[in-house]
A = this chain, B = another copy of it.
Amino acid sequence: MDRPELPLPQLHAFVVLAEELHFGHAATRLGIAQPPLSQQIRRLEDKVGHELFTRAPGHVALTPAGRELLPAARRALTDLADGLAAARAVGSGRAGRLRIGFAASLALTVLPGLLRTFRDQSPGVHLDIHEMTTAPQIAALHDKSIDIGLLREPPTDETELGFRTVLSEPFVAVLPSAHPLAAQRTVRLAQLADSPFVLLPRTAGPTLHDQIVGLCTAAGFTPRMVQHAVEWQTVCALVETGLGVSVAPASIRRIRLKGVAFRRIEPGTARTRVAVAWRANDSNPLVNRLLAAISQDPPNRPR
């Protein structure tokens, strides 16, 4: 690509004159006097090396060379105007694309409100949402395949990522309706000691997994795993079949299955945090806009 030879102001004058075919009118449209316009055209013709207009008195017309240059000039000007507008829209966060990873358990709680709030504020922004568990979200943030993560139990050793807790919720026991404990309003964790467990695999989200196992350990037993499933939806389905019980964040109450009962765990002091995560050095203004949307409309309780 060579260095540009034709200044844009002259091309603009050229295009306008080509439309008006009248120096006086074109100058008026350009907001300048007529002599400067004559100069602009003259300079442009000097650079092109050929006349672009024939000036018969009372009749200005394009030469073949001018006819050849006109569409290119027009395209260049509109391209730049459009490109500039688009760049400004993206730069100011009025448009663009934001890739969001989210934990499946949030699909029914924090995610809908967040998306609605953000879309209202930034209707021009395209949102790509990808369901993924915590660990893949961290990796995806690092390799820049997502810009925002909505995840559980953020790791504490991530210096390049920012985290902000958006929700703190207790745990619930997930029981088949037929389970004896389902008759109680609340459940103490130790009562689950003998039941087989269904949980997410540790690789999906080690922190949350360790937290749940830790709770059981504190209650005096080691949970006996019979099955792993990568989505809470699946966990509930497995519980429904009577395969086992589970312990899960309260959000999953939103998953309504006939044969599954959710029971508050006593004491309810242990809580799991849902956080939004982003690259600390991300200059994309949409990231900050989304964080602002979260602050403005905090989903601070499980609904």
Contacts and interface: CB of A to CB of B under 8 A. Distances in A.
A67 B5 CA distance: 24
A283 B69 contact: no
10 contacts: A4-B80, A7-B7, A48-B87, A49-B91, A49-B92, A51-B91, A65-B90, A71-B83, A72-B79, A72-B84
Contacts of A79: 72, 75-76, 79
A118 B283 CA distance: 61
A283 B53 CA distance: 10
Given A1-B16, A16-B1, A68 B83 contact: yes
A28 interface: no
Contact of A77 (B4, B12, B82, B92): B4
A15 B73 CA distance: 19
Interface residues of A, number: 56
Interface in A144-193: none
A176 to B, nearest CB: 49
A86 to B, nearest CB: 5
Contacts of A292: none
Contacts of A73: 80, 83
A15 to B, nearest CB: 6
A48 B88 contact: yes
Given A3-B12, A4-B77, A71-B83, 5 more contacts: A4-B12, A63-B283, A63-B284, A72-B79, A75-B76
A210 B80 CA distance: 62
A84 B6 contact: yes
Given A8-B6, A63-B91, A81 B51 contact: no
A87 B71 contact: no
Contacts of A63: 91, 283-284
Interface in A43-85: 48-52, 54, 56, 63-69, 71-84
A30 interface: yes
A276 B264 CA distance: 103
A9 interface: yes
A96 to B, nearest CB: 5
A64 to B, nearest CB: 5
